């Protein structure tokens, strides 16, 4: 088993945070921030731009590293280090149905009430508490 390197994007617009509903395992049917695996030869910054575009159709125009989180779920044999970025993105959301079932723009209270995948509740709570001013 190897540890995965992943990225996640906190994208906020008009006081609302973008969440997507996963359409694949693990955590199928759960909400999350856009993101995914870093490909071989790809920087985390390249990966977050690619993943956001693939999943949402948005183009990342500005990004800032926020924090990293360990995601360890022995019951599903999952261990990842997630690098989280705060992103400014442009365009209209057009989801990739293979990966994403639907999307929502939610205020912080609504976002934290969702059934969230991985460590995304902790990630969003940390963002709301510490880094909202980007």
User: Which of the residues are catalytic?
Assistant: 102
CB 29 within 8 A of CB 117: no
Q: Where are the alpha helices (DSSP H) in 15-90?
A: 44-56
Q: Where are the alpha helices (DSSP H) in 5-119?
A: 44-56, 108-113
CA 57 to centroid of chain Cα atoms? 14
Range 1-13 burial, b when 16+ CB lie within 10 A, else e: eeeebbbbbbbbe
Q: Name 100's bridge partners.
A: 22
Lookup: tokens for 62: 């500005």
């Amino acid at each position: 088993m190897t540890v995965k390197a992943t990225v996640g994007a906190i994208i906020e617009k008009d006081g609302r945070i973008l969440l997507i509903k996963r359409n694949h395992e693990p955590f199928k049917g759960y909400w999350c921030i856009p993101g995914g695996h870093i490909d071989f030869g790809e920087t985390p910054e390249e990966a977050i731009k690619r993943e956001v575009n693939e999943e949402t159709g948005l183009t990342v125009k500005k990004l800032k590293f926020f924090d990293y989180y360990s995601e360890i779920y022995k019951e599903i044999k999952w261990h990842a280090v997630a690098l989280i970025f705060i992103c400014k993105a442009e365009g209209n959301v057009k989801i990739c149905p293979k990966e994403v079932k639907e999307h929502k723009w939610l205020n912080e209270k609504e976002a934290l009430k969702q059934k969230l995948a991985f460590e995304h509740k902790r990630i969003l709570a940390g963002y709301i508490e510490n880094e909202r001013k980007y």
